[in-house]
Amino acid sequence: MHPIFASIAIAGPETVLTLGSLAALMLGTFSGNGRGGRQALAVTSLFAVAILALAGFTLLDAPAAATIAFDGLYVADAFSAFLKVIIIVAAAASVLMALPWLNGTGPDGAVRGRFEYPVLMLLATLGMGIMVSANDLLTLYVGLELAALPSYVLAAFHRADDRSAEAGLKYFVLGALASGILLYGVTLVYGFAGSTQLDVIAGIVSGQEERSLGLLFGIVFILSGLAFKVSAVPFHMWTPDVYEGAPTPVAAFFSAAPKAAALGLMARVLIVAFPGKVAPDWQQIVMFIAIASMVLGAVAAVAQTNIKRLLAYSSIANIGFALVGLSPGTPGGISALLFYITVYVAMTLGSFLVVLQLRRADGAPVETMADFAGLSKTRPGLALAMAVFMFSLAGIPPLLGFWPKFAVFQAAIDAGLIWLSIIGFIASVVAAFYYLRLIKIMYFDEPVAGIVSEGSTVNGGMIAACALFCSPLGMLAMTPLAGATARAAAALFPA
């Protein structure tokens, strides 16, 4: 087989997503404007979910060991396959959960939705797939930008809402700055290592007798750019504003799939390209980012009254906990990181689904924590699901959210980073306050009049699935999940 065709076959998910996004664009264009554009939106959304399912199906025969494609620019292995499953599931859920919102009408009476929404989701997912399979710093950058550009548009998708436009503009300006910083780091690494290919950089770095200050600066700039993508402190400033202003389904997507992709990308770059003597340098940076994210995310969320801003700071804190698993740079740490990402995606998607399922009597979405007052009396099922997600995010056993935190702390302790685990434990206790406060509001405050449910059966089913996964029943999945994360982590540490 010709090398190009062999490479296309290896990059099966990306091939499907590329062709599918182009087909979805054409399908939406020619589906007509029936029912105020709802027909094109429904057809394109279902087609996008089918394309995502097909992309996931191509991962069934994904290679376990590293398989190089496109002359070293792309790698397919168990690590990338694991993360792509998470990204695809999160993207499909984000497309489906958005349909009730998109079919609604804004303040101007116009339908909010347009068929471009699922197309942009497909393109963003394509970029994230390239990110986690990047074996070259330039492939990394292309994937990052392909994921980011549709995200800027999605953040500003609700054109009738000034806050949505503001969110898109903030995300674009700060995202462009972060991309510039990352690209500057890439140029420094290339200048001092002589290559942009990760495995080649590793060989050159391992052969250096003395620490290269220029290479260290390059690592710092690359980590700064990636820290922006995962909303890690001190590059978190965009997150609360964008989550608050963006449409709720878009905020849910931002909290899940891009975080998984960027954390996976960060792990691959640091573990593969910068092992050995240079590892302690980046480990110090990652530990600082982890501590700052855990502490700020836990403390800043205490004062929040807006539910989406609360979930934004929760996301920042959870990224800090996830980075505790990356800090040791060991197979056990990477396995714990992947476990954390999996459970975190389910918890955060479930939380946003509950927020999306509720609205005020005038059709406006719920915004504040006060809107959840007495929810256990008016919507007991949604209140129970939200309580499961909050207890799980707080890391309270026997809910599933306890075990990923235990895993990342255990990985840090095994590497001798006991102090890091202690700081993480203290931050987790502080963070539990605002999770428990929301539960108190739902179960002990008087109900708020005029809060109704959207009544979406699909979203209700996804809430139930996420809640069951995060409940003690989710522990039944821990053994196969632990095996999958161990195999995925081992792909970054070839014998």
Q: Which residues pair with 149 in a beta bridge?
A: none
Least confident span in 27-36, 84-93, 359-368, 478-487: 27-36
Task: Quickly list DSSP for 11-60.
Answer: THHHHHHHHHHHHHHHHHHHS--GGGGHHHHHHHHHHHHHHHHHHHHGGG
pLDDT-derived band at 156, boundaries 50, 70, 90: confident
What contacts 19, CB < 8 A, 6 or more positions away?
none
| Residue 274 exposure: Cα atoms within 13 Å on the Cβ side | 27
Least confident span in 18-22, 81-85, 157-161: 157-161
Number of Cβ within a 10 Å radius of residue 292? 18
pLDDT tens digits, 2-17: 778 888 888 888 999 9
pLDDT-derived band at 389, boundaries 50, 70, 90: very high
Is pLDDT above 60 for 401?
Answer: yes
Is pLDDT above 80 for 54?
Answer: yes
Cβ atoms of 167 and 211 within 8 Å: the answer is no
pLDDT tens digits, 194-228: 888 888 888 888 777 777 788 889 999 999 999 99
C-alpha distances in angstroms, 190 versus 201, 210, 398, 444?
8, 17, 48, 58
Cβ atoms of 249 and 194 within 8 Å: the answer is no
Q: What is the mean pLDDT of the chain?
A: 87
Task: Quickly list DSSP for 173-240.
Answer: HHHHHHHHHHHHHHHHHHHHHS--BHHHHHHHHHH-SS--HHHHHHHHHHHHHHHHHTT-TTS-TTHH
As a whole number of angstroms, the distance between CA 483 and CA 142 comes to 31
Tokens of residue 215, six digits? 């290479």
Cβ atoms of 90 and 128 within 8 Å: the answer is no
pLDDT (0 to 100) of residue 112: 58
What is the average pLDDT across 23-49?
A: 78
Cβ atoms of 422 and 348 within 8 Å: the answer is no
Cβ atoms of 435 and 395 within 8 Å: the answer is no
More confident residue, 434 or 209: 434
Is pLDDT above 50 for 283?
Answer: yes
More confident residue, 35 or 3: 3
pLDDT (0 to 100) of residue 123: 94
What contacts 375, CB < 8 A, 6 or more positions away?
358, 382, 383, 386, 441, 442, 447, 451
What is the average pLDDT across 390-415?
A: 91
Is pLDDT above 80 for 1?
Answer: no
pLDDT-derived band at 336, boundaries 50, 70, 90: very high
Tokens of residue 405, six digits? 């935190």
pLDDT (0 to 100) of residue 33: 58
For strands 358-360 and 451-453, give the pairing.
Answer: antiparallel
pLDDT (0 to 100) of residue 317: 92
pLDDT (0 to 100) of residue 17: 93
> Which residue from 64, 92, 99 is spatially nearest to 78, judged by alpha carbons?
64
> Which residue from 323, 307, 210, 233 is spatially nearest to 270, judged by alpha carbons?
323
More confident residue, 448 or 105: 448
What is the average pLDDT across 315-337?
A: 92
> Which residue from 161, 42, 186 is spatially nearest to 100, judged by alpha carbons?
42
pLDDT (0 to 100) of residue 245: 86
Number of Cβ within a 10 Å radius of residue 483? 11
pLDDT (0 to 100) of residue 406: 92
| Residue 258 exposure: Cα atoms within 13 Å on the Cβ side | 30
Is pLDDT above 50 for 109?
Answer: no
What contacts 470, CB < 8 A, 6 or more positions away?
343, 346, 347, 350, 388, 389, 392, 399, 400, 401
What is the average pLDDT across 237-256?
A: 88
pLDDT-derived band at 454, boundaries 50, 70, 90: confident
Tell me how far apart the 2 most distant CA atoms of the chain are, in Å.
70
pLDDT-derived band at 143, boundaries 50, 70, 90: very high
pLDDT tens digits, 343-382: 999 999 999 999 888 887 777 778 888 888 888 888 888 8
Cβ atoms of 293 and 220 within 8 Å: the answer is no
pLDDT (0 to 100) of residue 99: 85
What is the average pLDDT across 406-410?
A: 93
What is the average pLDDT across 309-314?
A: 90
**DSSP summary character for residue 111:** B
